Amino acid sequence: MNDWPLAELLPHAGDMILIDTIDRFDDEQIFTRITVKPDGLFSLPDGSLPAWVGVELMAQSVAAFAGCHARQKGNPVELGFLLGTRKFECNVEAFPAGSELTIHGLRSLEDDNGMGVFECHINGDGIHASARLNVFRPPQANQYLQQTKESNDD
């Protein structure tokens, strides 16, 4: 358990922060939680959350993992990128309003250049989703973004 506000761990703000809490994390994994709100940013008319938003829940959990580790070391939280996902599977088309979901992210690979792979799962009452997320956290994100901007301006 930690006392850091999610807004200090994620590069998102306001309604774009979809996870509610971090239950726990360690060197290799994180467990987060969300209760599906019927009036959320991505809610369907019946108040449910489309299953495809599960990829974003997983990505935010991975970002929170990186943010927790940065804060634990006394470093600033850095920007990261979701490069893609493989094998997203979900046994429901939408997460019903009021559902409590637990998101588990397990780091299976991370190199010194900032490339990482996480095995992620979402579980709730009768709900299971899984995917493998490929992520990139450049060592100096601001410098990386500036270089990218300059190369696009040419």
* Domains located in the chain, CATH noted: 6-153 (3.10.129.10)
Given a cut of 70, whether residue 17 has pLDDT beyond it is: yes
State the pLDDT at residue 106: 98
Given a cut of 90, whether residue 5 has pLDDT beyond it is: no
Q: Is the pTM of this model over 0.85?
A: yes
Given a cut of 90, whether residue 134 has pLDDT beyond it is: yes
* AA identity, residue 24: R
Given a cut of 90, whether residue 149 has pLDDT beyond it is: no
State the pLDDT at residue 91: 98
- Residue with more model confidence, 28 or 9: 28
Model confidence over 81-125: pLDDT tens digits? 999 999 999 999 999 999 999 999 999 998 878 899 999 999 999
Given a cut of 80, whether residue 144 has pLDDT beyond it is: no
What mean pLDDT do residues 55-59 have? Answer: 97
